[in-house]
Every structure is written in C-alpha cells, then in structure tokens.
Amino acid sequence: MTNHDTLRPLGWNEHVADVVAPLLTDDHLEPGRIVRVDRGEVDVAVGVGPDNVIRATNTTSSKDCVAGDWVVLDRAQARVEAVAPRLTAFTRRSARGARVAQTLAANMDVVLVVQGLDPGVNVRRLERELVLAHQSGATPIVVLTKTDAVDAAFIESSLAAARRSAPGVEVVAVSNRDRSGFDQLDRLVRPGRTFALLGSSGVGKSTLVNSFAGETIMLEGEIRDGDGKGRHTTTAARLLHLADGRLLLDTPGTRSLALWESWEGLADTFPEVETAAEDCQFADCFHENEPGCAVIAAVADGTIPADRLDSWRHLREEMEQLDGHLVDQQRKAERTGRPPR
C-alpha cells in the first residue's frame, strides 16, 4: 500500500494531490495532514490511528499551519517543511482587536454552522457565521441543536427564522440526547469528507461530535444556570477521524467573529440583496437613499425584509472600514519600508 493510499481515509484525493505534488521536491519528504496544533508543535497524520501520528516542529515557511492543512513532512527530522495551498479555509480577523487575519481551520468540504435552541437562534450571529462559512469556500449547513429542551412550536419558529437567514442553505434541527433529526443530518454529512464546526461555546458542538462518533471523545461544556452559556472546553482545532469514516474539524468556541475580506461570503449570505441590486439605476448603488434603487424598492414591497437589509448594511460597513484600514496600512508600509501590521 502506498503512502497516498494510507492518506485516503484522511481526505486525500486528486485535488489534494495536485496542490501537494509541487512541494515533494526530495525523496525523503512525504505528505501528511495536520490533526492538531499545540504551542508551536503540530501532530501530523500519515495514516489512520495514533501510531500514524507524528509530533513535529515547523520550519519558518510552515509556521502558520492549522488543523486540516496538508503539509510536506521530513519524518526523520520530525519537521514540517511546507504547507500546501489551502482549498478552503476559515479566516476571520484576529481576536483582541488586531486587524490581521487568523485562520482557524483548513481544507474542509462542509461547514456545520451550529446554534442551540436553548436559549434560541441568534439571527444576527447566524448571518455573520454564514458569511464566514460561505467565504471559506466550503458548503454550509445550519444545525440547530437541543430540540429536546424546547417545545415543537419553538422548534418550528426557529427553523423558519434560520431558513430566512440562510437562503439556499440546508437547515437541520437535532437532539444530541435522543438523536432525533440525525437521520437527515447523516444523509448530508457523508463519510469520507471533512466537516468543520462553527459556533459559540455552549451551543452543543462538543456533544454533537460525540453523537456523530457514538462515544465520548472530548469534554462536553458545562452550562451555567441562568444564562445557558458554556465554557470553552475546546482550546485548539482538531481533525477527528471517526469510526464510520467521517472527518470532523472541531474549532474552538469563538465569542468574536470579526470578518476578514469576506465580500463573496456577504454576497452568498444575502443573495436576495445581490439579485435585486442588479436592477438598481446605478452600478455603484449603496442601497441607502439613491434614486432608482431596486433594493429599497424590494424592501418597500415586502420582497426583502427590512431587517435583512439593515444587517447587510452593518456587515458591509464593517468590511469597508477594514478595507480602508488595510489600504492605510499598505500606504504606510510603502512609505516606511516596513511590512503592514
């Protein structure tokens, strides 16, 4: 069995082979996939099972690898030499206000955007999560957990709210406790592909992973009485190979989801705005108060809900502010000769 055959359960395919092949410049190098990053070191899988995971350090050129990355490994030196170009990636603006990109996970096929029905769907956060999910290049699926904690009417209203916020995206409601709804999710989450989880702490991501696996393979967050919030029980993204062949990328719970160069994701999350905008009188219409604005007309006649346009405007403004900052930083770099921060 070739090394590439041993990598197929980890998601190796012809697309991966195309991006990895140019990096295999010496016979002593081999491909692998990052399953965990921890304090400057990484776990690289070259096959399934703990015996096929190598703890390695990074060269300077590969210092920014994340879980899910395909890499080139020098096994004798236990060192990652290069990271292959990413086919898809979760990228947000770094936490703590820094205006730099932070990639959370890479090379997933599908993104499960997870929200808990207890306390309920946060529509504005869901829209923001969908922008990031669409921008990643993977296929988003909205998963509403904890159906066992609410009544049937609340489930139906939550499904309606989520579908309204996620046009064209599959929305599934499940119970991690009694597995209701998992038949539908099982059909969407197929073995042999990589699935990432995106959602805040306390929405049931860790429990969802355990439900997929059929066993407890990670800590489940404790939920505080009163506000229903959970602790951060996952501190680093991990690529998990489940017994049935599914590959799940579990990312840490994220309280802050600042966008990063997500114009395509914004368009995909608000397709009704993009479609209506094609009929605006001016090509550069901002849909504020311009004459002949087809988007404002669509809001007036009820085709587009007013709150959807308000949310689109808010996210667009955030993106424009970021773009302006990046332009300023680039100009400063050109003046000083220092790289932008």
**Does residue 210 form part of some domain?**
yes
CB atoms within 10 A of CB 262: 24
pTM: 0.82
The structure tokens 């989801």 sit at 257
**Does residue 264 form part of some domain?**
no
Of 32-46, 60-74, 208-222, the one with minimum mean pLDDT is 208-222
Residues 59 and 24 in one domain: yes
Residues 155 and 53 in one domain: no
Residues 61 and 93 in one domain: no
The contacts of residue 86 (CB under 8 Å, 6+ apart) are 69, 103, 106, 107
Q: From 52, 83, 114, give the residue that closes a domain.
A: 83
Chain mean pLDDT for the chain: 84
Residues 212 and 329 in one domain: no
Residues 59 and 173 in one domain: no
DSSP per residue, 178-215 = T-TTHHHHHHHS-TTSEEEEE--TTSSHHHHHHHHHTS
Provide the residue range defining the domain that includes 206: 89-250
Q: What is the pLDDT of residues 93-147, one digit of tens each?
A: 665 555 667 788 899 999 999 999 988 999 999 999 999 899 999 999 999 999 9
**Does residue 211 form part of some domain?**
yes
Residues 64 and 104 in one domain: no
Buried/exposed code over 195-219 (b: 16+ C-beta within 10 A; e: otherwise):
bbbbbbbbbbbbbbbbbbbeeebbe
Q: What is the pLDDT of residues 105-120, one digit of tens each?
A: 899 999 999 999 988 9
